[in-house]
Structure 1
Amino acid sequence: MLAVLMMASALVFAGARAAVADPTCELVETADGKLIYQCSETTPGEDGSSGGNGNGGGGSTKPACDLDGIKERFPGADEWYCQGQDACWVNNPTVEYPEPESWPEEPPSEGAVYVYKSCYAPDGTETFGDYTWYTGPEDEGPSIEELALQAFGALETPGFSLAHSPPRNSIIFIDTWWWADGPSNGEISSGAALGVVAIGTPSHIEVDPGDGSGVMTCDFVTSESDACSYTYDRAGDYTSRGRLVYDVHFEQGGSPLDIAGLPDSLESGWQESTITVAESQAVVVP
């Protein structure tokens, strides 16, 4: 019965962690001038049980996933454990082995064994099912959520400058065009964190003309066009600013990951540009 289920792809490091709460991410500048996101996470504790007769109740702990459910579904497995929000089972040793030439060349650590492992999300969807090196849940490795946050932290937005036309002086009541000069319209991606990759898809740019009107949202414009335009109604010298915004999703071994609480967007730092807006003057020719 279990041998029939031994299909799928991707390689993930075995681990058991508590479910991750909403991550906190901040944009920081590295020593070489690059802008990257650094993320931290908090793991909420379970509510303590109520006390009786004035005595404080003791804190109760629960598995981060539904172990009872997976034990009922796969009673013949050798081990069951939580990996973040996913419930996993392992055959150790496995019932069957793939062809030796498809095994990884080197084990990740001494004592690792090659097993079949399967993990399921809370909604019952299989998130992993394949042969992999295994050292046991007691040797905690990063959870899927932690790997995704690592990948997100390594995601970098491309450099750009905020350009506008006219390039120097604009005129009131005449459209000024804006665009991000430098980046392409393609996706950006991070390096893989044990098979988990963060991918950013261009969403839009945000431009603040600098005259107090606020930030406007435009298409992801990277060349001169009228797709992102604004009309000043007051002359003056202004400092405008703009940034890139990407939609973010995660993949593991080429397959999409859908995990609640992970960041779903990435913004670049603001880039500033000065612009002088003048009043138009009529020239009377006799």
Structure 2
Amino acid sequence: MLKLRTLLQVLLACVALVAALLGTTTMTVAAEDAQTRNVCWVYLEVRPGVFEYVNVCAGPDEDDGGGDGDGGGGPKCDLTQDPYDEFCLGVRSCRADIPSPIPEDKWPEETRPSPDHIFTFVECLVPDEEEIWSRWRWVIPYEDALPGLGWQAFGRLETPAFTLSFAPAGMTYVGADTRFFLDGLGDGEIIGGVAGPLQATGTLSHVEIDPGDSSGIIDCQPDLRANACEHVYLSMSHEQVTLDLDGHPSFPAQARLVYDVTFTVGGVEVDLPGVPDTLESPWNGTLVPVGEIQALVR
């Protein structure tokens, strides 16, 4: 009888130990699941006024490269079915919204795999399945998507603020050489923020100046800090309605900067058909009063 009681106690202890272990495992798995949800699921505004919980983590069956997935031996997926012919995610054939419909400042940056990735909406065909696989995710843009990103990179170029001045200061005269100067041009190069793997760079090509007297635009050297651009006014400005600070009727002269734009991926220049290769700054100007020197004839 004593042996039977001892055996029952041992069995009950084993059951309690197994239950405790199972409970610990369950709590551990639950904690890991909660941690995964906290890292992977974020609340994003995917369209203006539309918010969704979005899984930003790649699944174990996804090729997270976002490229053609060839691995050196050809694509892993069937890229013959339009529009799902842009790139592979594992065996899925996919397309993506490029550029992303979500503004970059709203991307879940803390989960970004690399600076080359963009966060956007992806749709894919899955072999032997009718339903379209879709989700918001990080992808590296495929090569043919670069023109779309080019517009983003182009839009991130910012031209410098500059000022236009002229000499002789204060007032110039009919028939005299009027010299225009620009200040605030920097070193003549502007570099935009990256869009995925793409970066735009602007190099100052020349400066356009409109003297304001209907004579037309003048193309000038890019460095107007040391090299003046000259113009000869052939008429006085006394009939102009714009007045300078001293109340003199003046011609509204203005200038703008013109840049040659190049695009690079990893420092290598790429050609992007359809994307502008020049950038013009906004016009900025000054008022030029033009008088007439009276000559005494004997």
Q: Which has the higher contact order (CA 8 A, sep 6+)?
A: 1
User: Relative to 1, partners in 2 of residues 1:81 and 1:251: Cα closer, same or farther, differing over 3 Å?
Assistant: farther
Q: 1:241 to 1:278 in 2, by over 3 A?
A: same
Find the counterpart in structure 2 of residue 79 from structure 1.
Answer: 77
Partner of 2:42: none
Give 1:225's aligned amino acid: N
**What is the aligned partner in structure 2 of residue 14 from structure 1?**
66
Aligned counterparts of 2:284 and 2:74: Cα–Cα separation in 1: 58
Matched AA of 1:230:
H
Q: Which residue of 2 aligns with 1:200?
A: 202
Q: Please name the residue that 1:126 is paired with.
A: none
Deviations 1:167-204 (A, max 9, x none): 21111111111132111233101111122101101011
Q: Quick one: structure 1 residues 259 and 91, their matched pair in 2 at CA, closer, same or farther if it must change by over 3 Å?
A: same
Aligned CA distance change for structure 1 residues 81 and 170 (closer, same or farther; 3 Å): farther
CA contact (8 A) 1:14 1:137 kept: no
Aligned with 2:252 (options 239, 246, 254): 239
Give ranges in structure 1 of 5+ residues lacking alignment.
Answer: 1-11, 17-70, 94-105, 110-134
Instruction: Indicate the residue corresponding to 2:186 in structure 1.
Output: 184
Is residue 150 from structure 1 mapped to residue 152 from structure 2 by the alignment?
Answer: yes
Q: CA 1:13–1:255 in structure 2 vs 1: closer, same or farther (change >3 Å)?
A: farther
Shift of 1:209: 0.5
Give the match's secondary structure for 1:280. Answer: coil
Structure 1 runs (4+) deviating above 2 angstroms are 12-16, 74-77, 79-82, 87-93, 106-109, 135-143, 281-285
The Cα of 1:89 is off from its aligned counterpart by 6.9
Q: Which secondary structure state, in structure 2, belongs to the residue aligned with residue 79 of structure 1?
A: coil
Give 2:292's aligned amino acid. E
Asked if structure 2 preserves the Cα contact closer than 8 Å seen for 1:15 and 1:137, the reply is no
Match of 2:169 in 1: 167
Matches within 5 A, 1:213-228: 213-226=215-228, 228=229
1:84-163 pair list within 5 angstroms: 108=112, 138=124, 143-163=145-165
Q: Distance in 2 between matches of 1:240 and 1:76?
A: 60
Aligned positions of 1:29-44 closer than 5 A: none
Larger Cα-atom Rg = 2
Distance in 2, Cα, partners of 1:259 & 1:90: 22
Q: Please, what TM-score do these two structures have when normalized by structure 1?
A: 0.53
Distance of 1:192 and 1:249 partners within structure 2: 13
Match of 1:255 in 2: 268
| Alpha-carbon distance, 1:159 to partner | 0.4
* Structure showing the higher helix proportion among its residues: 2
Q: Matches of 2:66 and 2:287 in 1, distance apart? A: 52
Amino acid at match of 1:232: Y
Residues in 2 aligned to 1:192 and 1:13: alpha-carbon distance in whole angstroms: 18
Q: Is the 8 A contact 1:185 1:220 kept in 2?
A: no
How far apart are residue 91 of structure 1 and its match? 9.8
- Distance 1:78-1:213 versus aligned 2 partners, 3 A rule: same
Total equivalences in the alignment: 183
The runs of 5 or more residues in structure 2 that have no matched partner are 1-63, 92-109, 114-120, 125-134, 238-249
Using a 3 Å threshold, how does the CA distance of structure 1 residues 81 and 188 change in structure 2: closer, same or farther? farther
Aligned partners of 2:261, 2:200: CA distance in 1, in Å? 7
CA distance in 1, matches of 2:112, 2:183: 44
Contact in 1 for aligned 2:67/2:87 (Cα 8 Å):
no
Partner of 1:46: none
Flag the 1:186–1:195 CA change in 2: closer, same or farther, 3 A: same
1:217 partner SS: strand
Q: Partner of 1:58 in structure 2?
A: none
In structure 2, do the counterparts of structure 1 residues 205 and 172 end up closer, same or farther at CA, with 3 Å as the change threshold? same
1:282 is paired with a residue whose SS is coil
1:34-93 per-position Cα deviation (integer Å, ceiling 9, x unaligned): xxxxxxxxxxxxxxxxxxxxxxxxxxxxxxxxxxxxx9xx875423549xxxx8776959
Equivalent residue number for residue 268 of structure 1 = 281
Q: CA RMSD in A?
A: 4.0
